[in-house]
Amino acid sequence: MSIRISATELPGILLIEPRVFEDQRGFFLETHHQRKYSQAGLDVNFVQDNHSHSRLNTLRGLHYQLAHPQGKLIYATSGEIFDVAVDLRRSSSTFRKWYGVRLSSETHLQIYIPPGFAHGFCVLSDSADVVYKCTEFYDAEDELGVLWSDPDIGIRWPISQPLLSAKDSVLPVLSQLPADRLPY
Protein backbone atom coordinates (compact mmCIF):
# COMPACT_ATOMS: atom_id res chain seq x y z
CA MET A 1 0.00 0.00 0.00
CA SER A 2 1.36 3.40 -0.91
CA ILE A 3 -0.52 5.37 1.76
CA ARG A 4 -1.33 4.97 5.43
CA ILE A 5 -4.69 6.21 6.71
CA SER A 6 -5.23 6.49 10.46
CA ALA A 7 -8.38 7.27 12.42
CA THR A 8 -8.23 10.14 14.93
CA GLU A 9 -10.08 10.61 18.20
CA LEU A 10 -12.94 12.29 16.31
CA PRO A 11 -14.88 9.74 14.23
CA GLY A 12 -14.63 10.45 10.50
CA ILE A 13 -11.50 12.58 10.64
CA LEU A 14 -8.62 10.73 9.04
CA LEU A 15 -4.90 11.45 9.05
CA ILE A 16 -3.23 10.41 5.80
CA GLU A 17 0.45 9.72 5.24
CA PRO A 18 1.19 9.30 1.54
CA ARG A 19 4.27 7.41 0.42
CA VAL A 20 6.99 9.86 -0.61
CA PHE A 21 9.73 8.87 -3.05
CA GLU A 22 12.81 11.02 -2.40
CA ASP A 23 16.23 11.15 -4.04
CA GLN A 24 18.90 13.71 -4.88
CA ARG A 25 16.53 15.44 -7.33
CA GLY A 26 13.73 16.02 -4.85
CA PHE A 27 10.58 14.00 -4.24
CA PHE A 28 7.45 12.57 -5.82
CA LEU A 29 4.16 11.58 -4.22
CA GLU A 30 0.57 10.94 -5.20
CA THR A 31 -1.59 13.52 -3.46
CA HIS A 32 -4.70 11.54 -4.37
CA HIS A 33 -5.35 8.27 -6.14
CA GLN A 34 -9.03 7.30 -6.12
CA ARG A 35 -8.54 3.54 -6.13
CA LYS A 36 -5.71 3.50 -3.55
CA TYR A 37 -7.44 5.93 -1.19
CA SER A 38 -10.68 3.98 -1.48
CA GLN A 39 -8.93 0.68 -0.72
CA ALA A 40 -7.30 2.32 2.31
CA GLY A 41 -10.65 3.49 3.70
CA LEU A 42 -11.30 6.92 2.14
CA ASP A 43 -13.98 6.18 -0.44
CA VAL A 44 -15.36 9.60 -1.39
CA ASN A 45 -15.85 11.48 -4.64
CA PHE A 46 -14.09 14.82 -4.94
CA VAL A 47 -15.62 17.44 -7.27
CA GLN A 48 -13.60 20.62 -6.65
CA ASP A 49 -10.00 21.57 -5.79
CA ASN A 50 -9.06 24.81 -4.00
CA HIS A 51 -5.69 26.47 -3.43
CA SER A 52 -5.08 29.05 -0.71
CA HIS A 53 -1.94 31.15 -0.26
CA SER A 54 -1.54 32.94 3.08
CA ARG A 55 1.13 34.73 5.06
CA LEU A 56 2.40 34.16 8.60
CA ASN A 57 -0.25 34.32 11.36
CA THR A 58 -3.18 34.28 8.94
CA LEU A 59 -6.12 32.37 10.38
CA ARG A 60 -8.89 31.23 8.02
CA GLY A 61 -12.11 29.84 9.46
CA LEU A 62 -13.92 28.26 11.11
CA HIS A 63 -16.17 27.62 8.09
CA TYR A 64 -18.81 25.03 7.26
CA GLN A 65 -21.69 24.47 4.84
CA LEU A 66 -25.15 23.32 5.83
CA ALA A 67 -27.23 22.57 2.71
CA HIS A 68 -24.22 21.50 0.64
CA PRO A 69 -21.74 20.15 3.22
CA GLN A 70 -18.22 19.49 2.01
CA GLY A 71 -15.80 16.77 2.96
CA LYS A 72 -12.26 18.08 2.52
CA LEU A 73 -8.87 16.45 1.89
CA ILE A 74 -6.32 19.07 2.98
CA TYR A 75 -2.54 19.35 2.65
CA ALA A 76 0.16 22.03 2.59
CA THR A 77 2.19 22.28 -0.62
CA SER A 78 4.50 24.90 0.89
CA GLY A 79 5.08 26.09 4.43
CA GLU A 80 3.39 24.89 7.61
CA ILE A 81 -0.12 25.27 9.01
CA PHE A 82 -2.08 24.19 12.06
CA ASP A 83 -5.27 22.67 10.66
CA VAL A 84 -8.42 22.31 12.78
CA ALA A 85 -11.74 20.51 12.50
CA VAL A 86 -14.65 21.06 14.91
CA ASP A 87 -17.54 18.61 15.13
CA LEU A 88 -20.74 20.63 14.65
CA ARG A 89 -23.08 17.65 14.25
CA ARG A 90 -25.72 18.19 16.96
CA SER A 91 -26.45 14.45 17.19
CA SER A 92 -22.78 13.47 17.55
CA SER A 93 -21.26 12.26 20.81
CA THR A 94 -18.25 14.45 19.93
CA PHE A 95 -20.29 17.63 19.30
CA ARG A 96 -18.12 20.74 19.98
CA LYS A 97 -14.91 18.67 20.15
CA TRP A 98 -11.99 19.70 17.97
CA TYR A 99 -8.97 18.06 16.42
CA GLY A 100 -5.85 19.89 15.28
CA VAL A 101 -2.75 18.78 13.41
CA ARG A 102 0.29 20.44 11.89
CA LEU A 103 0.50 19.96 8.13
CA SER A 104 3.59 20.97 6.20
CA SER A 105 5.33 20.63 2.88
CA GLU A 106 8.06 18.71 4.72
CA THR A 107 5.87 16.01 6.29
CA HIS A 108 3.37 15.74 3.40
CA LEU A 109 0.65 14.72 5.90
CA GLN A 110 -2.95 15.16 4.81
CA ILE A 111 -6.16 15.32 6.78
CA TYR A 112 -9.65 14.34 5.66
CA ILE A 113 -12.48 16.24 7.33
CA PRO A 114 -15.96 14.85 6.60
CA PRO A 115 -19.16 16.88 6.13
CA GLY A 116 -20.63 18.20 9.38
CA PHE A 117 -17.37 19.68 10.67
CA ALA A 118 -16.20 23.30 10.67
CA HIS A 119 -12.72 23.80 9.24
CA GLY A 120 -10.01 26.37 9.81
CA PHE A 121 -6.26 26.75 9.81
CA CYS A 122 -3.54 29.18 10.81
CA VAL A 123 -0.19 29.73 9.12
CA LEU A 124 2.95 28.99 11.15
CA SER A 125 5.60 29.70 8.50
CA ASP A 126 6.40 32.91 6.59
CA SER A 127 3.75 31.83 4.10
CA ALA A 128 1.88 28.68 3.21
CA ASP A 129 0.08 27.21 0.24
CA VAL A 130 -2.79 24.92 1.13
CA VAL A 131 -4.63 22.70 -1.33
CA TYR A 132 -7.87 20.98 -0.52
CA LYS A 133 -10.14 18.69 -2.47
CA CYS A 134 -13.87 18.97 -1.76
CA THR A 135 -16.70 16.45 -2.04
CA GLU A 136 -19.29 19.13 -2.84
CA PHE A 137 -19.19 22.31 -4.92
CA TYR A 138 -18.72 25.56 -3.01
CA ASP A 139 -21.88 27.64 -2.57
CA ALA A 140 -21.21 31.13 -1.17
CA GLU A 141 -24.84 31.43 -0.03
CA ASP A 142 -24.39 28.29 2.09
CA GLU A 143 -21.19 29.25 3.91
CA LEU A 144 -21.54 29.59 7.67
CA GLY A 145 -18.98 29.92 10.40
CA VAL A 146 -18.08 29.89 14.06
CA LEU A 147 -15.70 32.34 15.74
CA TRP A 148 -12.14 30.97 15.83
CA SER A 149 -11.76 31.85 19.53
CA ASP A 150 -15.08 30.47 20.82
CA PRO A 151 -14.33 29.66 24.49
CA ASP A 152 -16.90 26.83 24.53
CA ILE A 153 -14.87 25.03 21.86
CA GLY A 154 -11.50 25.97 23.35
CA ILE A 155 -9.17 25.43 20.42
CA ARG A 156 -5.53 25.78 21.50
CA TRP A 157 -4.26 27.72 18.50
CA PRO A 158 -0.44 28.05 18.35
CA ILE A 159 -0.79 31.79 17.57
CA SER A 160 -2.34 34.50 19.72
CA GLN A 161 -2.93 37.47 17.39
CA PRO A 162 -4.11 36.11 14.05
CA LEU A 163 -4.66 38.04 10.84
CA LEU A 164 -8.37 37.59 10.12
CA SER A 165 -10.69 38.58 7.31
CA ALA A 166 -13.40 41.09 8.22
CA LYS A 167 -15.96 38.28 7.84
CA ASP A 168 -14.10 35.81 10.07
CA SER A 169 -13.55 38.38 12.83
CA VAL A 170 -17.30 38.75 13.44
CA LEU A 171 -18.49 35.15 13.18
CA PRO A 172 -20.82 34.05 16.00
CA VAL A 173 -19.85 31.74 18.83
CA LEU A 174 -21.48 28.32 18.72
CA SER A 175 -23.99 29.12 21.49
CA GLN A 176 -25.40 31.97 19.34
CA LEU A 177 -26.30 29.64 16.46
CA PRO A 178 -29.83 28.20 16.43
CA ALA A 179 -30.08 24.42 16.12
CA ASP A 180 -31.38 24.64 12.55
CA ARG A 181 -28.12 26.38 11.50
CA LEU A 182 -26.05 23.36 12.60
CA PRO A 183 -25.64 19.96 10.92
CA TYR A 184 -27.70 17.15 12.39
Interval 167-184 mean pLDDT? 96
Tell me the catalytic residues.
63, 132
Whether the pTM exceeds 0.85: the reply is: yes
pLDDT at 19 over 80: yes
What is the second-level CATH architecture of the domain 3-20+27-181? Sandwich (2.60)
Residue 30 per-residue DSSP state? -
Going across the sheet that includes 72-78, the strands are: 3-7, 14-18, 110-113, 72-78, 127-134, 48-55
Q: Where are the domains of the chain?
A: 3-20+27-181
pLDDT at 41 over 80: yes
pLDDT at 1 over 90: no
What is the overall mean pLDDT for the chain?
96
pLDDT of residue 180: 95
pLDDT of residue 2: 76
Cα distance between residue 108 and residue 13, in whole Å: 17
pLDDT of residue 40: 85
Interval 115-134 mean pLDDT? 98
